[in-house]
Chain A
Protein backbone atom coordinates (compact mmCIF):
# COMPACT_ATOMS: atom_id res chain seq x y z
CA UNK A 1 0.00 0.00 0.00
CA UNK A 2 1.19 3.52 -0.78
CA UNK A 3 1.52 5.78 2.23
CA UNK A 4 -0.98 8.64 2.31
CA UNK A 5 0.47 12.12 2.05
CA UNK A 6 -2.61 14.32 2.32
CA UNK A 7 -3.22 16.45 5.43
CA UNK A 8 -6.88 16.07 6.40
CA UNK A 9 -7.16 19.61 7.78
CA UNK A 10 -5.87 21.10 4.54
CA UNK A 11 -8.22 18.93 2.49
CA UNK A 12 -11.25 20.03 4.49
CA UNK A 13 -10.15 23.69 4.47
CA UNK A 14 -9.90 23.53 0.67
CA UNK A 15 -13.43 22.14 0.46
CA UNK A 16 -15.01 24.60 2.90
CA UNK A 17 -13.33 27.92 2.03
CA UNK A 18 -15.60 30.22 0.01
CA UNK A 19 -18.38 27.74 0.69
CA UNK A 20 -21.26 29.86 -0.56
CA UNK A 21 -24.61 28.17 0.11
CA UNK A 22 -23.13 24.73 0.82
CA UNK A 23 -24.85 22.64 3.52
CA UNK A 24 -22.56 20.34 5.50
CA UNK A 25 -23.04 17.33 7.77
CA UNK A 26 -19.88 16.27 9.58
CA UNK A 27 -19.49 12.74 10.94
CA UNK A 28 -18.42 12.28 14.52
CA UNK A 29 -14.83 12.51 15.67
CA UNK A 30 -11.97 13.83 13.61
CA UNK A 31 -14.11 14.77 10.61
CA UNK A 32 -16.17 17.09 12.81
CA UNK A 33 -13.00 18.57 14.33
CA UNK A 34 -11.59 19.11 10.82
CA UNK A 35 -14.73 21.01 9.77
CA UNK A 36 -14.55 23.11 12.92
CA UNK A 37 -10.86 23.85 12.34
CA UNK A 38 -11.86 25.18 8.92
CA UNK A 39 -14.32 27.53 10.68
CA UNK A 40 -17.39 26.82 12.81
CA UNK A 41 -20.43 27.61 10.68
CA UNK A 42 -24.20 27.54 11.30
CA UNK A 43 -24.74 25.55 8.10
CA UNK A 44 -22.41 22.79 9.28
CA UNK A 45 -24.09 20.19 11.49
CA UNK A 46 -21.33 18.37 13.39
CA UNK A 47 -22.24 15.03 14.94
CA UNK A 48 -20.91 14.11 18.38
CA UNK A 49 -22.56 10.67 18.38
CA UNK A 50 -25.05 8.52 16.47
CA UNK A 51 -22.12 6.91 14.67
CA UNK A 52 -23.06 5.69 11.20
CA UNK A 53 -25.75 8.35 10.70
CA UNK A 54 -23.86 11.10 8.84
CA UNK A 55 -24.60 9.85 5.33
CA UNK A 56 -28.30 9.39 6.10
CA UNK A 57 -28.57 12.87 7.60
CA UNK A 58 -27.03 14.17 4.40
CA UNK A 59 -29.61 12.24 2.38
CA UNK A 60 -32.58 13.59 4.35
CA UNK A 61 -31.19 17.11 3.96
CA UNK A 62 -30.47 16.68 0.24
CA UNK A 63 -34.00 15.41 -0.41
CA UNK A 64 -35.51 18.28 1.56
CA UNK A 65 -33.34 20.91 -0.16
CA UNK A 66 -32.93 19.75 -3.78
CA UNK A 67 -31.73 23.18 -4.92
CA UNK A 68 -28.86 23.34 -2.42
CA UNK A 69 -25.60 21.40 -2.53
CA UNK A 70 -25.14 19.03 0.40
CA UNK A 71 -21.77 17.70 1.54
CA UNK A 72 -21.21 14.93 4.05
CA UNK A 73 -17.67 14.92 5.47
CA UNK A 74 -16.93 11.85 7.52
CA UNK A 75 -14.28 9.31 8.45
CA UNK A 76 -13.75 5.77 7.25
CA UNK A 77 -14.82 4.25 10.58
CA UNK A 78 -18.04 6.25 10.66
CA UNK A 79 -18.79 5.36 7.05
CA UNK A 80 -18.12 1.68 7.66
CA UNK A 81 -20.75 1.69 10.42
CA UNK A 82 -23.35 2.96 7.94
CA UNK A 83 -22.46 1.03 4.79
CA UNK A 84 -26.11 0.23 4.20
CA UNK A 85 -26.81 3.93 3.84
CA UNK A 86 -24.74 3.91 0.63
CA UNK A 87 -27.26 1.44 -0.81
CA UNK A 88 -30.11 3.60 0.46
CA UNK A 89 -28.63 6.69 -1.21
CA UNK A 90 -28.16 4.59 -4.34
CA UNK A 91 -31.93 4.12 -4.57
CA UNK A 92 -32.64 7.88 -4.28
CA UNK A 93 -29.66 9.11 -6.34
CA UNK A 94 -29.83 12.74 -5.19
CA UNK A 95 -28.00 14.89 -7.74
CA UNK A 96 -27.07 17.44 -5.04
CA UNK A 97 -25.29 15.11 -2.58
CA UNK A 98 -21.56 14.47 -2.21
CA UNK A 99 -19.92 12.27 0.43
CA UNK A 100 -16.26 12.84 1.27
CA UNK A 101 -14.64 10.14 3.38
CA UNK A 102 -11.38 11.16 5.03
CA UNK A 103 -9.80 7.72 5.06
CA UNK A 104 -6.84 7.43 7.44
CA UNK A 105 -7.52 3.70 7.83
CA UNK A 106 -7.80 4.23 11.59
CA UNK A 107 -10.30 4.75 14.40
CA UNK A 108 -8.69 8.03 15.38
CA UNK A 109 -10.66 8.76 18.55
CA UNK A 110 -10.14 5.43 20.26
CA UNK A 111 -6.43 4.72 19.93
CA UNK A 112 -5.75 4.62 16.19
CA UNK A 113 -6.83 1.00 15.74
CA UNK A 114 -6.90 -0.08 12.10
CA UNK A 115 -10.23 0.06 10.30
CA UNK A 116 -11.32 -2.36 7.61
CA UNK A 117 -9.89 -0.09 4.91
CA UNK A 118 -6.40 -0.72 6.34
CA UNK A 119 -6.94 -4.37 5.48
CA UNK A 120 -7.93 -3.58 1.91
CA UNK A 121 -11.69 -3.17 2.06
CA UNK A 122 -12.47 -0.82 -0.83
CA UNK A 123 -15.01 1.81 0.25
CA UNK A 124 -14.99 3.52 -3.14
CA UNK A 125 -15.85 0.27 -4.91
CA UNK A 126 -18.73 -0.29 -2.49
CA UNK A 127 -20.04 3.23 -3.15
CA UNK A 128 -19.65 2.75 -6.91
CA UNK A 129 -21.55 -0.52 -6.75
CA UNK A 130 -24.34 1.35 -4.95
CA UNK A 131 -24.67 3.90 -7.75
CA UNK A 132 -22.33 6.68 -6.65
CA UNK A 133 -19.84 8.28 -9.00
CA UNK A 134 -16.83 7.36 -6.88
CA UNK A 135 -13.26 8.63 -6.96
CA UNK A 136 -10.18 8.09 -4.85
CA UNK A 137 -8.06 11.15 -3.99
CA UNK A 138 -4.41 10.69 -3.03
CA UNK A 139 -2.63 13.88 -4.11
CA UNK A 140 -3.09 17.60 -3.54
CA UNK A 141 -3.33 18.11 -7.29
CA UNK A 142 -6.59 16.12 -7.22
CA UNK A 143 -8.29 18.31 -4.61
CA UNK A 144 -9.45 21.00 -7.05
CA UNK A 145 -11.36 18.46 -9.14
CA UNK A 146 -12.97 17.08 -5.97
CA UNK A 147 -13.99 20.59 -4.91
CA UNK A 148 -15.49 21.20 -8.32
CA UNK A 149 -17.48 17.96 -8.03
CA UNK A 150 -18.75 18.83 -4.55
CA UNK A 151 -20.04 22.24 -5.70
CA UNK A 152 -21.12 21.52 -9.26
CA UNK A 153 -20.97 17.82 -10.13
CA UNK A 154 -23.93 15.54 -10.64
CA UNK A 155 -24.46 13.45 -7.53
CA UNK A 156 -24.48 11.22 -5.78
CA UNK A 157 -20.71 11.64 -5.62
CA UNK A 158 -18.30 9.78 -3.36
CA UNK A 159 -14.70 10.81 -2.72
CA UNK A 160 -12.44 8.56 -0.71
CA UNK A 161 -9.54 10.77 0.36
CA UNK A 162 -6.49 8.92 1.63
CA UNK A 163 -5.15 11.07 4.48
CA UNK A 164 -2.15 10.71 6.79
CA UNK A 165 -3.02 8.91 10.04
CA UNK A 166 -2.11 11.47 12.70
CA UNK A 167 -3.53 12.84 15.91
CA UNK A 168 -4.17 16.57 15.56
CA UNK A 169 -5.11 19.26 18.10
CA UNK A 170 -8.81 19.14 18.94
CA UNK A 171 -11.01 21.80 17.33
CA UNK A 172 -14.34 21.29 19.01
CA UNK A 173 -17.70 22.57 17.73
CA UNK A 174 -20.49 23.47 20.17
CA UNK A 175 -21.76 20.31 21.81
CA UNK A 176 -25.35 21.31 22.56
CA UNK A 177 -27.27 19.34 19.94
CA UNK A 178 -30.47 21.37 20.20
CA UNK A 179 -28.45 24.55 19.58
CA UNK A 180 -26.66 23.03 16.60
CA UNK A 181 -29.99 21.98 15.13
CA UNK A 182 -31.73 25.30 15.68
CA UNK A 183 -28.91 27.50 14.42
CA UNK A 184 -28.78 25.39 11.25
CA UNK A 185 -32.53 25.76 10.68
CA UNK A 186 -32.44 29.49 11.36
CA UNK A 187 -29.60 30.01 8.92
CA UNK A 188 -31.29 27.88 6.25
CA UNK A 189 -35.00 28.48 6.75
CA UNK A 190 -35.11 31.90 8.44
CA UNK A 191 -38.57 32.70 9.77
CA UNK A 192 -39.88 29.21 9.00
CA UNK A 193 -37.32 27.65 11.32
CA UNK A 194 -39.62 27.58 14.34
CA UNK A 195 -42.60 26.14 12.45
Chain B
Protein backbone atom coordinates (compact mmCIF):
# COMPACT_ATOMS: atom_id res chain seq x y z
CA UNK B 1 0.00 0.00 0.00
CA UNK B 2 1.48 3.32 -1.08
CA UNK B 3 2.01 5.76 1.76
CA UNK B 4 2.96 8.72 -0.40
CA UNK B 5 -0.64 10.04 -0.49
CA UNK B 6 -0.46 10.16 3.32
CA UNK B 7 2.74 12.17 3.07
CA UNK B 8 1.04 14.60 0.64
CA UNK B 9 -1.95 14.93 2.94
CA UNK B 10 0.37 15.69 5.84
CA UNK B 11 2.23 18.28 3.72
CA UNK B 12 -1.04 20.00 2.72
CA UNK B 13 -2.10 20.14 6.37
CA UNK B 14 1.21 21.43 7.61
CA UNK B 15 1.13 24.15 4.93
CA UNK B 16 -2.29 25.31 6.08
CA UNK B 17 -4.32 24.19 3.07
CA UNK B 18 -8.00 24.38 4.03
CA UNK B 19 -9.87 23.94 0.76
CA UNK B 20 -9.14 20.92 -1.44
CA UNK B 21 -10.93 20.61 -4.75
CA UNK B 22 -10.70 17.78 -7.22
CA UNK B 23 -11.82 16.00 -10.31
CA UNK B 24 -10.97 12.45 -9.32
CA UNK B 25 -8.18 10.28 -10.61
CA UNK B 26 -7.34 6.76 -9.53
CA UNK B 27 -3.88 8.03 -8.62
CA UNK B 28 -5.45 10.50 -6.17
CA UNK B 29 -7.92 7.98 -4.69
CA UNK B 30 -6.31 7.66 -1.28
CA UNK B 31 -5.46 11.36 -0.97
CA UNK B 32 -9.08 12.28 -1.77
CA UNK B 33 -10.27 9.86 0.93
CA UNK B 34 -7.82 11.31 3.45
CA UNK B 35 -8.99 14.86 2.70
CA UNK B 36 -12.67 13.91 2.98
CA UNK B 37 -11.94 12.33 6.38
CA UNK B 38 -10.11 15.47 7.57
CA UNK B 39 -12.39 17.79 9.56
CA UNK B 40 -10.03 20.73 9.03
CA UNK B 41 -10.43 20.55 5.26
CA UNK B 42 -13.35 21.64 3.11
CA UNK B 43 -13.40 19.26 0.17
CA UNK B 44 -14.98 20.43 -3.07
CA UNK B 45 -15.69 17.93 -5.85
CA UNK B 46 -15.68 19.77 -9.20
CA UNK B 47 -17.45 19.11 -12.47
CA UNK B 48 -14.41 20.32 -14.44
CA UNK B 49 -10.89 21.23 -13.37
CA UNK B 50 -11.08 24.90 -14.31
CA UNK B 51 -13.59 25.41 -11.50
CA UNK B 52 -10.74 24.71 -9.11
CA UNK B 53 -8.77 27.71 -10.43
CA UNK B 54 -11.64 30.07 -9.61
CA UNK B 55 -12.24 28.38 -6.26
CA UNK B 56 -8.59 28.78 -5.26
CA UNK B 57 -8.66 32.47 -6.23
CA UNK B 58 -11.81 33.06 -4.18
CA UNK B 59 -10.34 31.17 -1.23
CA UNK B 60 -7.23 33.36 -1.35
CA UNK B 61 -9.34 36.53 -1.46
CA UNK B 62 -10.99 35.23 1.71
CA UNK B 63 -7.70 34.39 3.44
CA UNK B 64 -7.61 30.63 2.91
CA UNK B 65 -5.20 28.37 1.06
CA UNK B 66 -6.54 25.89 -1.49
CA UNK B 67 -5.15 22.96 -3.44
CA UNK B 68 -6.47 21.42 -6.67
CA UNK B 69 -6.16 17.71 -7.47
CA UNK B 70 -6.56 16.44 -11.01
CA UNK B 71 -5.19 14.12 -13.64
CA UNK B 72 -3.24 15.40 -16.62
CA UNK B 73 -6.24 15.31 -18.96
CA UNK B 74 -7.70 18.10 -16.81
CA UNK B 75 -4.85 20.50 -17.52
CA UNK B 76 -6.32 21.44 -20.88
CA UNK B 77 -9.61 22.33 -19.21
CA UNK B 78 -7.83 24.91 -17.04
CA UNK B 79 -6.02 26.94 -19.65
CA UNK B 80 -8.10 30.14 -19.90
CA UNK B 81 -8.92 30.17 -16.18
CA UNK B 82 -5.18 30.27 -15.49
CA UNK B 83 -5.42 33.91 -16.55
CA UNK B 84 -6.41 34.47 -12.92
CA UNK B 85 -3.08 33.19 -11.67
CA UNK B 86 -1.08 34.95 -14.37
CA UNK B 87 -2.78 38.34 -14.16
CA UNK B 88 -3.52 38.66 -10.47
CA UNK B 89 -0.65 36.61 -9.02
CA UNK B 90 -3.14 34.42 -7.24
CA UNK B 91 -1.37 31.47 -5.62
CA UNK B 92 -2.22 28.11 -7.15
CA UNK B 93 -1.18 24.68 -5.94
CA UNK B 94 -2.19 21.93 -8.35
CA UNK B 95 -1.27 18.27 -7.89
CA UNK B 96 -1.47 16.55 -11.25
CA UNK B 97 -1.31 12.78 -11.63
CA UNK B 98 0.16 12.03 -15.03
CA UNK B 99 -1.35 9.79 -17.66
CA UNK B 100 -0.04 9.17 -21.14
CA UNK B 101 3.45 8.40 -19.91
CA UNK B 102 5.36 5.15 -19.42
CA UNK B 103 3.22 2.09 -20.06
CA UNK B 104 -0.01 3.96 -20.87
CA UNK B 105 -2.57 1.55 -22.34
CA UNK B 106 -5.17 4.15 -23.38
CA UNK B 107 -3.92 6.03 -26.43
CA UNK B 108 -6.53 8.73 -25.85
CA UNK B 109 -4.67 9.79 -22.72
CA UNK B 110 -1.42 10.39 -24.57
CA UNK B 111 -1.93 13.73 -26.39
CA UNK B 112 -3.05 15.72 -23.34
CA UNK B 113 -0.71 13.87 -21.00
CA UNK B 114 2.27 14.63 -23.20
CA UNK B 115 1.20 18.25 -23.68
CA UNK B 116 0.25 18.94 -20.06
CA UNK B 117 3.64 20.14 -18.76
CA UNK B 118 4.10 22.53 -21.70
CA UNK B 119 0.48 23.71 -21.53
CA UNK B 120 0.97 24.64 -17.88
CA UNK B 121 4.25 26.40 -18.56
CA UNK B 122 2.78 28.31 -21.50
CA UNK B 123 0.23 29.79 -19.09
CA UNK B 124 2.87 30.74 -16.55
CA UNK B 125 2.53 27.81 -14.17
CA UNK B 126 5.77 26.55 -12.64
CA UNK B 127 6.02 22.78 -12.76
CA UNK B 128 7.78 20.45 -10.36
CA UNK B 129 8.22 16.75 -11.11
CA UNK B 130 7.52 14.14 -8.45
CA UNK B 131 8.84 10.76 -9.53
CA UNK B 132 9.87 9.12 -6.25
CA UNK B 133 7.37 8.22 -3.56
CA UNK B 134 9.77 9.02 -0.73
CA UNK B 135 10.02 12.63 -1.95
CA UNK B 136 6.26 13.25 -2.04
CA UNK B 137 5.92 15.11 1.24
CA UNK B 138 8.94 17.34 0.76
CA UNK B 139 8.09 18.16 -2.85
CA UNK B 140 4.49 19.13 -2.10
CA UNK B 141 5.56 21.19 0.90
CA UNK B 142 8.11 23.01 -1.27
CA UNK B 143 5.50 23.59 -3.96
CA UNK B 144 3.09 24.99 -1.37
CA UNK B 145 5.73 27.45 -0.15
CA UNK B 146 6.40 28.52 -3.73
CA UNK B 147 2.68 29.04 -4.31
CA UNK B 148 1.57 30.71 -1.10
CA UNK B 149 4.71 32.55 -0.06
CA UNK B 150 6.05 33.13 -3.56
CA UNK B 151 2.60 34.09 -4.85
CA UNK B 152 2.88 31.86 -7.85
CA UNK B 153 1.06 29.17 -9.72
CA UNK B 154 2.70 25.79 -9.19
CA UNK B 155 1.82 22.33 -10.46
CA UNK B 156 3.39 19.18 -9.08
CA UNK B 157 3.40 16.56 -11.82
CA UNK B 158 3.22 13.11 -10.28
CA UNK B 159 4.81 10.61 -12.67
CA UNK B 160 2.77 7.74 -14.00
CA UNK B 161 5.66 5.43 -13.15
CA UNK B 162 4.99 6.24 -9.48
CA UNK B 163 1.24 5.74 -9.69
CA UNK B 164 1.05 2.66 -11.88
CA UNK B 165 -0.75 1.92 -15.11
CA UNK B 166 -4.48 1.39 -15.51
CA UNK B 167 -4.75 -2.08 -17.01
CA UNK B 168 -8.25 -2.40 -18.57
CA UNK B 169 -7.88 -6.12 -17.78
CA UNK B 170 -5.31 -6.52 -20.59
CA UNK B 171 -2.79 -9.32 -20.39
CA UNK B 172 0.75 -7.98 -20.93
Contact = CB atoms under 8 A, between A and B. Distances in A.
A63 B51 contact: no
B90 A59 contact: no
B48 A57 contact: no
Contact of A50 (B42, B44, B60, B83): B83
Given A50-B84, A181-B88, A85 B54 contact: yes
Interface in B11-39: 18-19
A82 interface: yes
Interface string B84-126: 1001111000000000000000000000000000000000000
A175 B48 CA distance: 27
- Categorize the interface residue count of chain B: 20 to 34
B56 interface: yes
A57 B62 CA distance: 10
A143 interface: no
A53 B59 contact: no
B105 to A, nearest CB: 29
B59 A63 contact: yes
Given A45-B61, A53-B50, A88-B51, A60 B66 contact: yes
Interface in A74-130: 82, 84-85, 87-88, 91-92
Nearest to A51: B80
A56 B62 contact: no
B53 interface: yes
Nearest to B53: A53
B81 interface: yes
Contacts of A52: 50, 54, 81
A50 B55 CA distance: 12
Contact of B61 (A50, A178, A184): A184
B58 A57 contact: yes
Interface string A181-195: 100110011001100
Given A63-B42, A181-B60, A181-B89, A49 B18 contact: no
Nearest to B82: A50
B133 interface: no
B45 A60 contact: no
Contacts of A63: 19, 42, 44, 58-59, 62, 64
Contacts of B87: 48-49, 177-178
A25 interface: yes
Given A50-B81, A52-B81, A177-B88, A64 B61 contact: yes
A149 B118 CA distance: 45
Nearest to A54: B54
B172 interface: no
A61 B55 CA distance: 8
Contacts of B45: 88, 91
B57 interface: yes
Given A25-B58, A52-B81, A64 B19 contact: yes
What 10 A-B pairs come out closest when comparing CB atoms?
A60-B58, A64-B62, A56-B54, A84-B47, A177-B88, A53-B54, A57-B58, A177-B87, A64-B64, A60-B59
Given A50-B80, A63-B19, 5 more contacts: A57-B61, A60-B66, A63-B58, A82-B54, A185-B60
8 contacts: A23-B61, A23-B62, A53-B54, A56-B53, A63-B19, A64-B63, A181-B57, A192-B63
